[in-house]
């Protein structure tokens, strides 16, 4: 599954992989994590008309449990196999700012493991774009007692991305 948004978006959000709902609907970020993401994007005052959303891995890796399809984390080989498609998307869109949502997206974009907590707030070079790394919105859903803290960090990083757009 490829991304969605205007083809000349200045901001690209890169997630891990489609989830079950995304896989069934054929669009990124339309499931539970997507609801969190779009709430955070709105809170960060980012114009969705200036935003492309996609995933590092283009297929839904899952394990079948009865009627349920449970998410399985993509491995390095799958991340690398999908990288040419992500790279092609970025080459076509030519964003000013890219936000890696989570470790898989960070790994795909940098070519190495990226610890999220230690990488937040840093600016990385990604061709002609600036790369920021933050939590995946699904981390908010899994964080239990830290959900508000993780969500606040995600919003803070999206605000930083918006401010970078203003500076370019």
Query: What are the phi and psi torsion angles at 51 (to 5°)?
Result: -140, 130
* Neighbour count for residue 35 (Cβ, 10 Å): 14
Burial grade of 28 (CB within 10 A; 0-12, 13-18, 19 or more): buried
Largest CA-CA distance found in the chain, in angstroms, rounded:
50
Q: Residue 134 forms beta bridges with which residues?
A: 101
- Cβ atoms of residues 86 and 52 within 8 Å: no
Structure tokens at 109: 């974009």
- Distance from CA of residue 28 to its chain's centroid? 10
Is 0.75 topped by the overall pTM?
yes
H helix intervals, 8-68: 20-25, 32-43
pLDDT digits (tens, 9 = 90+) for 17-41: 877 777 778 888 888 899 999 999 9
Between strands 129-134 and 124-126, the pairing is antiparallel
pLDDT digits (tens, 9 = 90+) for 78-120: 888 888 999 999 999 999 999 999 999 999 999 999 999 999 9
What's the distance, CA 151 to chain centroid?
Answer: 14
CATH architecture of 11-167: 3-Layer(aba) Sandwich (3.40)
pLDDT per position as a tens digit, 42-52: 999 999 999 99
């Amino acid at each position: 599954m490829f991304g969605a948004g205007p083809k000349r978006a200045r901001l690209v959000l890169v997630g891990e992989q489609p989830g079950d709902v995304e896989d069934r609907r054929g669009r990124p970020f339309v499931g539970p994590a997507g609801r969190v993401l779009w709430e955070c994007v709105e809170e960060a005052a980012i114009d969705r008309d200036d935003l492309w959303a996609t995933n590092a891995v283009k297929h839904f890796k899952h394990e079948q449990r009865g009627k349920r399809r449970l998410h399985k984390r993509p491995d390095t080989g799958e991340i690398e196999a999908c990288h040419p498609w992500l790279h092609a998307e970025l080459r076509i869109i030519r964003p000013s700012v890219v936000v890696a949502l989570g470790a898989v997206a960070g790994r795909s974009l940098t070519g190495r493991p990226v610890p999220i907590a230690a990488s937040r707030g840093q600016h990385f070079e990604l061709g002609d774009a600036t790369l920021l790394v933050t939590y995946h919105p699904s981390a908010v859903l899994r964080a239990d007692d830290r959900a508000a803290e993780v969500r606040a960090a995600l919003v803070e990083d999206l605000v930083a991305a918006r401010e970078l757009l203003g500076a370019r």
